[in-house]
Amino acid sequence: MLAVCALLAGTAGCGSGGAAGDGVSPTPVGRVLDGRDQEGRPYREVERKDAPGVGIEVQPDAVGGWDVRLTVRRFRFSPAGAAARPVAGRGVAHLYVDGRLVARLRARDHRLADELVPRGTHHVTVRLYADDGTVWAVDGAPVESTADITASKPGPDPVPSADARRGTPPDTAGDRPRTRGRGSPDRAGKAS
């Protein structure tokens, strides 16, 4: 009877093994490719129509740091301690800042510490992994999303300009043209 069930069911499996009622197949999916991520983990190729998807939004936090919000499609985060086997639409997300792994996520929301994002422009990338550590992939590319952010934390005080040392206000957008001591310009910008 068991052999008949396996032949008729194909990859769907027999009985009620796996996660009942959660809509996720308990059988391995896709095929492992030769391609690997920067940590040496192999890609697991799945068809585009069945592939999980991920989006990322990163916003500055009011008290410092960054709020990271993921949007996932056809994907559910596995709980800690999940079996180390690939299951369709299941796994974890790895969060990278400029290619450096900073967190393994099991939820859509995360707070990125301020010290992980120094002053400047950075690439914050999220990539989806199956529970066996393989990278979910479509057309040979990892399932991932990247947000570019710019951190503009106050740095050291700039060296004062010559105008500031003389007590002269600096030029700013919208001000009338400066004449550098050659008279006052009229409204048309001509020196008087």
What is the reported pLDDT for 155?
41
Over its length of 192 residues, how does the chain's per-residue pLDDT go in tens digits?
333 333 333 333 333 334 444 445 455 699 999 999 999 999 999 999 999 999 999 999 988 899 999 999 999 999 999 999 999 999 999 999 999 999 999 999 999 999 999 999 999 999 999 999 999 999 999 999 999 999 986 544 444 545 444 555 544 444 444 444 444 344 444 443
Structure tokens at 116: 């992980």
Q: Residue 188: its pLDDT value, please?
A: 44
**How much is the pLDDT for 9?**
33
Domains of the chain are: 25-151 (2.60.40.10)
What stretches of 18-163 adopt beta strand conformation (E)?
31-36, 42-45, 53-60, 66-73, 76-77, 90-97, 100-105, 109-112, 120-129, 135-138, 141-142, 144-151
What's the confidence (pLDDT) of residue 152? 87
- Rounded to whole angstroms, the Cα distance separating 34 from 50 reads 21
Residue 19, classed as helix, strand or coil, is coil
